[in-house]
Structure 1
Amino acid sequence: MTEIIVDNLLSPVVLFFVLGLVAAIFKSDLKFPSALSEALSIYLLIAIGIKGGIELSHYSIDTVLAPIGGALILGVAIPLITLFIMRIIKVDLENSIGLAATYGSISIVTYGAALSFLEKNGTMYEGFMNAIVVLMESPAILVSLLILNIVKNKSEVTSLSSRSVGFMPESFNLIDKEVLRESIFGKSIVLLVGSLLIGVILGERAVPMVKPLFMDLYNSVLILFLLNMGLVAGQRLPEVKKYGVKLVLFGLLSPLLFGSLGVIVGSFVGLSIGGITLMGVLAGSASYIAAPAALKTSVPEANPSIYLGLALGVTFPFNLIIGIPIYFELAKWIQ
């Protein structure tokens, strides 16, 4: 176990992330142009989606049905567990919803780093796991916003019911249409789903064209992206400190809790060691692309410094350095 963690720490993707982290902490003038950062994000989303689609074209629906079911269960369960924990530590409703959506959704970059980890260790995994990434991106966001609207509407109805029997406010709406659009048709979902479908339709015919850019260069581009993520995470660290030890502990311990749950689900639905590891990584990661985009529109009261600060400043580096090897060892043990 120690040897695996050390090997992971000494991998290029982790070391370049640490380089960015150190540069931000010591206030270096190193920074990425916003256009380049956006381009790297788009590249990773397309690369993971199209590789998943090509692999998915090799499988029948019967093969992927159980893993899809497991992924959807995790997408519903994790935000509910997060809300329960936030209630215990007395975080307000809006910030609780922000954390539930963020931790219930997934980090595409953590997943990409896990793929590199498995390939380095020579561990095979099911190709359709790239499709599972797409399925786990939105459910937690929708569940969290649904709960928020139910609670708010219930409070509104309760306050008005004593004055008007049978009254139902015009604003009663479980999920706003704009929120639904952001959650399903946001950039990350469109790119992942679209490239996945293209990969499924074309199958192996797409390989000669996409391999030079989206397969051969994948790990090198991931290094650049993680250098940038290190800079962003380092800038967010002071914001996390403002909100006390309880939330920082949540950012450190929740990946182990949710990642272990993902490992159990992955084993239950019959995945290989590599597939179980990836299910654990997805469950234990936190979103800083899709969830914040939806939260910015639908829950403006939620403080981005909390959900983004924890996701990027605490959970992301924890998973990158320690979490991935732990999920891998848990997968081997449970098998």
Structure 2
Amino acid sequence: MDIKLLLESLTNPALLFFFLGILAVKFKSDLKIPENSSKFISLYLLFAIGFKGGQELAHSEFGMGILWAIAFGIGTACLIPIYTFFVLKKRLGLENAGAIAAAYGSVSAVTFVTAASFLEMQYLQFSGHMVAIMALMEAPAIIIGVLLIRWFGNGKSGQTSLWGILKHSITNGSVFLIIGSLIIGFLANEHEAEGIKPFTTDIFKGFLAIFLLDMGISSGKKLKDFLQSGWFTTAFAIVTPLVNGVLVAYLSSWVSPEPGDRFMLAILAASASYIAVPAAMKMAVPKANPGIFLPMALAVTFPVNITIGFPLYFMVINL
């Protein structure tokens, strides 16, 4: 691995604020981000990345390359929960295996946003349609996770209809906002869109740093209890995203020659959802234990991706 690239990733101010949040919990500081402020920052980040993606998409030439990239992303979101379900089923039980599989097949918008910042450090850009791919990858993994639980549980696990699951996935706040922002960015008059550029671009990194501070505090609170759950879940939360990310970083050359797009596809495959999936599983599979799959995604996989994963996937792309 390129040591210089790893050091650049580890000294990213946003990432350092994430570690500061963990240290705040470790040293029992009363530091915290007010809940309403945290929600606002989350909404802002999703709005900004969606709107900028829509603007980029408006200037893109639609062709088979975009369609292949979309198909590749959705295919990834369908395959990952299937293989991870069978890896997990015997050790963690049917419901937990399905919930974790859905989380790792789905995507993390926050990881995507942080990856965009990483690409800026490398003076690279990604295409606007990557935001659309991220939104489209959210629902398939959730549906497949629930289907697998029902199939192997003889239809006894969960009572919500598949249409209900699909509707909940699409109307989930984070998914709805990013899709809506993408459409608005695509339709917006270019001159008028320039007027809000300071809001969508100039202050983006500052808000990201504060948000990651909040994520660090949340991770620090969950990390201790999770580590006591055993080595297997920790190993899975570390190894699985790295394997998924490396494979997609390599295979994505089939659908895109652009390193920025390939990096984002790798990030989408490597990330794990800790917003949309827990909300959907609470409704569809109440027997699944969020005390297992939520810390796996937030307290382990997220920091692994932004410290080790980013430079590793970038290195594979540039081989």
**Which TM class, normalised by the smaller chain length?**
over 0.9
TM-score norm. by structure 2 comes to 0.94
1:242 aligns with 2:243: no
Please name the residue that 1:315 is paired with. Answer: 301
| Partner residue, 1:166 | none
The residue number in structure 1 matching 2:62 is 61
Deviation at 1:85, TM superposition (A): 1.3
Instruction: Return the letter of the residue paired with 1:39.
Output: F
Structure 2: distance between partners of 1:142 and 1:97 = 10
Output one character per residue of 1:88-122: Cα deviation in whole Å (capped at 9) or x when no partner: x5210111011011111111111111111111111
1:188 to 162, 166, 174: 174
Does structure 1 residue 228 correspond to structure 2 residue 210?
Answer: no
Matches within 5 A, 1:193-232: 193-202=179-188, 204-232=190-218
- 1:17-46 CA-to-partner distances (Å, cap 9, x unmatched) read 000011112221111111111111111111
Q: How does 1:1-335 map to 2 (within 5 A)?
A: 1-62=2-63, 63-87=65-89, 90-154=91-155, 175-202=161-188, 204-333=190-319
Distance, in Å, in 2 between the alignment partners of 1:265 and 1:52 is 23
Identical pairs, percent: 39
What is aligned with 1:165? none
Q: 1:220/1:149 Cα in 2 relative to 1: closer, same or farther (>3 Å)?
A: same
Q: What is the rounded CA distance, in whole Å, between the counterparts of 1:46 and 1:314 in structure 2?
A: 26
Q: Distance in 2 between matches of 1:282 and 1:206?
A: 31
**Is residue 53–residue 127 contact of structure 2 (8 Å, CA) maintained in 1?**
no
Q: State the distance in 1 between where 2:268 and 2:288 align.
A: 23
* Partner Cα separation in structure 2 for residue 275 and residue 178 of structure 1: 32
In structure 2, relative to structure 1, the CA distance for the partners of 1:139 and 1:176 (3 Å cut) is closer
What TM-score does the superposition give when structure 1 sets the normalisation length? Answer: 0.90
Amino acid at match of 2:124: T
For 2:251 and 2:192, the matched residues in 1 are separated by: 32
Q: Report the AA paired with residue 222 of structure 2.
A: R
Q: Equivalents in 2 of 1:69, 1:206: separation in Å?
A: 33
**Rg larger for:** 1
Q: How far, CA to CA, are the matches of 2:309 and 2:189 in structure 1?
A: 33
CA RMSD of aligned residues (A): 1.8
Name the amino acid aligned to 2:92.
V
Kindly provide the amino acid, as one letter, of the partner of residue 21 in structure 2.
Answer: G
Shift of 1:142: 1.3
CA distance in 2: counterparts of 1:136 and 1:60, whole angstroms: 22
What are the ranges of 5 or more consecutive residues in structure 1 without an aligned counterpart?
Answer: 157-170
8 Å CA contact retained: 2:165, 2:284? yes
What CA distance in whole angstroms lies between the structure 2 residues aligned with 1:314 and 1:154? 32
Uncovered stretches (5+) of structure 2, i.e. residues with no partner = none
Q: Distance in 2 between matches of 1:206 and 1:188?
A: 25
Letter in 1 for 2:78: V
CA drift at 1:151 = 2.8
Q: Kindly provide the CA deviation profile for residues 219-244 of structure 1, in whole angstroms up to 9, marking residues without a partner as x.
A: 11000100000000001101211221
Q: Aligned pair count?
A: 317
